[in-house]
Amino acid sequence: AQSVTQLGSHVSVSEGALVLLRCNYSSSVPPYLFWYVQYPNQGLQLLLKYTSAATLVKGINGFEAEFKKSETSFHLTKPSAHMSDAAEYFCAVTNRREYGNKLVFGAGTILRVKS
Amino acid sequence: DTEVTQTPKHLVMGMTNKKSLKCEQHMGHRAMYWYKQKAKKPPELMFVYSYEKLSINESVPSRFSPECPNSSLLNLHLHALQPEDSALYLCASSGLLQSNTEAFFGQGTRLTVV
């Protein structure tokens, strides 16, 4: 069975500070990993994905994540937070299947950006 | 175009009503999904269709009935729902190759059962 643990249900940073959102996964086979962002009353937007190519993955809006197999981690970072980054972030894992990919999400981390 | 369109955006229904949620994508994806998201919780998978056939049903009650009329459309028929079924219902689509496993989500339908 696969699972994702997001450390910290709430993270608060100042505008311009480093953003670090933590994600650890558990998977018996090589995983596919994703980060999604959700703004209030909206759907999920894909930030970035890891699918066994480069371990450092760059996404949209200046976000990136590094896959570390030895630590079973896939933490999300952004060098400088903007007010518009305030949202909820979900880490998710799946194993690719020919009949469809079941995403298993972490509990989510709400990011607050202080001015 | 990476858009998944869901209608309606909001829906209020009584426990004896029958309603349907609709989802459309034009990315050529051959897998489509329904997820349910309760307040302050992550999305949870309900159904998966691949090549227009139901491939995964996560033990969802029969008052939820999915339908995939063609490769671009996905419906969720609702009947005799309970207040605890109130949630955000998200549709998603993805490819089935290693290169396009990522799921793209619609904006969701906010369902309230009264």
**pLDDT single digits (tens) B97-112:** 877 889 999 999 999 9
Q: Are B81 and B113 in contact (CB under 8 A)?
A: yes
Structure tokens at B5: 């369109």
**Alpha-carbon gap, residue B90 to B102, rounded angstroms:** 15
On chain B, the residues whose CB falls within 8 A of the CB of A101 are 31, 94, 96, 101, 103
Tell me if A42 and B108 make a contact (CB, 8 A cut-off): yes
Q: Which residues make Cβ contacts (< 8 Å) with residue A52, sequence separation at least 6? A: A30, A32, B98
Least CB-CB distance to B101: which of A41, A90, A96? Answer: A96
Average pLDDT over residues A44-72: 93
Residue type at position B50: S
Beta-bridge mates of residue B94: B31
Report pLDDT for A17.
Answer: 98
**Alpha-carbon gap, residue B34 to B22, rounded angstroms:** 10
Mind listing the pLDDT tens digit for each residue in B55-94?
Answer: 999 999 999 999 999 999 999 999 999 999 999 999 999 9
Tokens 């950006």 map to which residue?
Answer: A113
Residue B17 has pLDDT above 90, yes or no: yes
Report pLDDT for A49.
Answer: 94
Least CB-CB distance to A49: which of B31, B102, B110? Answer: B102
**Alpha-carbon gap, residue A93 to A105, rounded angstroms:** 7
Pairing of strands A32-38, A10-14: unpaired
Report pLDDT for B99.
Answer: 78
Report pLDDT for B1.
Answer: 64
Q: How many CA atoms lie within 13 A of B58 on its CB side?
A: 16
Q: Are A85 and A35 in contact (CB under 8 A)?
A: no
Closest CA of chain A from B50, distance in Å: 5
Closest CA of chain A from B46, distance in Å: 10
